[in-house]
Amino acid sequence: MTEQLTPVTGSDRRPRESDRLLRRRAAAVIPGSMYGHQSAVPLPPEYPQFMRSGRGARIWDVDETEYVDLMCSYGPVVLGHQHPSVEAAARAQTELADCQNGPGEVMVELAELLVATVRHADWAMFAKNGTDATTICCTIARAQTGRAKILVATGAYHGAAPWCTPRLAGVTTADRANLGHYTFNDLESVTAAAAAAGPDLAAIVASPFKHDAGYDQELVDPAFARRLRELCDETGAALILDDVRCGFRLHLGSSWEPIGVLPDLSAWSKAIANGHPLAAVVGSDRFRDAAASIFVTGSFWFSAGAMAAAIATISALGDEGAIETMDRVGTALRAGIIEQASRRGLEISYTGPAAMPYLTFAGDRDHELGGVFAAAAIRAGLYLHPRHNWFISAAMTDADLAKALAATDEAFAAVQARLEGGNT
C-alpha cells in the first residue's frame, strides 16, 4: 500500500500506460468504454479514467500519479478518503456480518441518529443510491396524496431513472407524463406550475441550491423556499428537498434548516456514509403511513456495513467540526482563486457555497477555457472538473490547499496563454 502512495509529480511522471491499457480493454467489454458521470471520455485527455487509492484529500490514479482531490468521488467523500473511524466502524460491522436475512441493529441506530440530527425527520428509510431516494420520495408523496403530478426545476438533476434522467434515449413519453417544470428561484413560475397541476399536484421537488452541471450556481432565495413551503401547505402536496448532493456538506441537518424551511420529505445519499453505499429518505409524521404503505426494497439496501459507516460519518462530522472546516477551507480557496484570476486580468464567476464551488470564465459558453483550466490543473496535480461543481472535504490540510492554489495559478496561466494566442 505504501508503495502505491508514493507521490509522482512533475517531471517524475511516467507515461499513463496503465490507464491507456485499461481504457483499451474496457472499450472491448464495457459499452462506450465507460458510462455515467465518472466517464472521462468527455474530459480533457489529461484526465485518468481509472483510480487506484485515496487518503485524506489526496488521490492516486492507476499510474500512481498523485492529485489533491477537489471532486471527492463526486460528493460521497466528505471527511476525506479512508477516514479512520468510518473505515473501522464499517470493517467491524462487515467482519461480524454485512448482507443478511434481516438488517442489523445498526439500521435502528442510524434511523434514530437521523431523526435526532435532521429537524424535519420523524422516521427514516434506507436504500443505496440518490436516485432510489428521490424516486421513493415521489412514490411516498403520490401514495399520501393520491395524486400524480410532480414539479421539478428545469435543468435540475435528481437521478438517472426514466422519470428524471437528463438523457432521453430509452425514455418513453409516459415516463415523463406527470412531470411539471418551474424555474428555480422564480416565484411566478412555480406558482404557475402549481396552478397548472391543479388538484393533481402530489409534490414539489427542489434542490437546496441551483447546482445544475455546466451553469453558474445560484444560492436559494429564502423567499422562494418559503413560497414552496406555502404552496405545499395550501395544496396538501409534499415539499421534497433533494439533499443528495448537499446533505451533510453545508449543515449538520437538512440544508434548508439555516433558512428555516423544513421539507416534508428529503432524499440523502452521497456524503451520508463517507463513500460507503447508502441512501436515505427521511420524512415527517404526516407521511409516515404512506411511507409504510409503499413497496420499495433492494437486495443490498439493508447491508449493515454501510449503515455502520453512516453512523460513524455523522458522528465524526459533528465531533470533528467538519462542516466548519469545509467552509473555512472553501472560503480560503475562493479568496485565493479570485485573487489569482484578478491578478491576471481574467474575468471569472466563482459561484456556489464555499464547500461546493464552481468556476466559469466570462463568455466561455462551450467551456473551452474551462477545459484548458482543468487540463492544466490536472497536469499540476489537482483533480477538479471543468463542468461540474467541485467538492471540498474536511480532510483538506493547509498543505493540500497550498498545492491546490499552486495548481490553479498554473491553470490560470494556461488560460491566459490560450487567450493570448499561445498553445498551452
Ligand X SMILES: Cc1ncc(COP(=O)(O)O)c(C=O)c1O
Q: Which stretches of the chain bind ligand X, using CB under 6 A?
A: 129-131, 134, 157-160, 207, 242, 244-245, 269
List C-alpha distances in Å: 334 to 79, 211, 354, 395, 407.
Answer: 20, 17, 7, 17, 14
Calpha distance 55→80 (Å, rounded): 7
* Cβ at position 359, least distance to ligand X in Å: 18
The grid cell for 13 is 511522471
Calpha distance 375→43 (Å, rounded): 8
* Cβ at position 153, least distance to ligand X in Å: 11
Calpha distance 73→53 (Å, rounded): 11
* Cβ at position 383, least distance to ligand X in Å: 17
Amino acid (one-letter) located at 370: G
* Cβ at position 159, least distance to ligand X in Å: 4
Cβ closest to ligand X, residue 136 vs residue 314:
136
* Cβ at position 76, least distance to ligand X in Å: 8
Contact status, residue 402 vs residue 382, Cβ threshold 8 Å: no
Strands 348-351 and 358-361 turn out to be antiparallel
Cβ closest to ligand X, residue 66 vs residue 242:
242
**Would you tell me the crossing angle of helices 84-96 and 304-319 to the nearest 10 degrees?**
160
Task: Report the candidate in 250, 273, 269, 271 with the shortest Cα–Cα distance to residue 86.
Answer: 273
What is the layout of strands, in order, in the sheet containing 279-283? 123-127, 279-283, 265-268, 238-242, 201-206, 149-153, 179-182
Cβ closest to ligand X, residue 150 vs residue 407:
150
* Cβ at position 225, least distance to ligand X in Å: 16
Cβ closest to ligand X, residue 256 vs residue 361:
256
* Cβ at position 71, least distance to ligand X in Å: 12
